[in-house]
């Protein structure tokens, strides 16, 4: 299964914390057209909003199994996201490939106009998220 990550899961340590041994060994730079990645009020992770002519940079992950997909759905679904199959274009390629992308279930007025800053998130919010994921994973079986 292919997934496109545009937020916290672009970070290798977060992917490993959520997926454990199922975390992919490598990822590929890619982008998603027709959407913007924006900051959300009150949380440190981003959200996608449709935006004609916009583009979201992220990473494409290939070869995840069904268990990994379930873990991702739990991780993302707790905050009101669902996976949609969208066309994602790997960098340097002319054609897109279908991939699962987590998008908000409903457009909420919680979106801000400003772009989400991955580097700022890594410096400011990543350690706290990793601690929460560790606690979350200890509550769930890893089978």
Average pLDDT, the chain: 89
HSE at residue 34, side-chain half, CA atoms within 13 A, is 7
- The string of pLDDT tens digits covering residues 49-72 is 999 999 999 999 999 999 999 999
Q: What is the CATH number of domain 3-137?
A: 3.10.490.10
CA pseudo-torsion sign 9, 63, 75, 108: positive
């Amino acid at each position: 299964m292919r997934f496109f990550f545009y937020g916290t899961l672009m970070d290798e340590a977060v992917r490993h914390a959520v997926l454990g041994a199922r975390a992919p060994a490598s990822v590929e730079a890619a982008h998603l057209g027709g959407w913007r990645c924006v900051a959300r009020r009150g949380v440190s992770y981003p959200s996608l909003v449709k935006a004609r002519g916009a583009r979201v940079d992220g990473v494409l992950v290939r070869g995840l199994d069904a268990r990994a997909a379930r873990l991702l759905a739990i991780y993302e679904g707790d905050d009101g996201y669902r996976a949609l199959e969208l066309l994602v274009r790997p960098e340097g390629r002319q054609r897109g490939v279908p991939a699962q992308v987590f998008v908000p279930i409903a457009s909420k007025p919680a979106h801000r106009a400003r772009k989400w800053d991955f580097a700022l998130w890594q410096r400011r919010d990543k350690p706290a998220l990793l601690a929460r994921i560790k606690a979350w994973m200890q509550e769930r079986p890893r089978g």
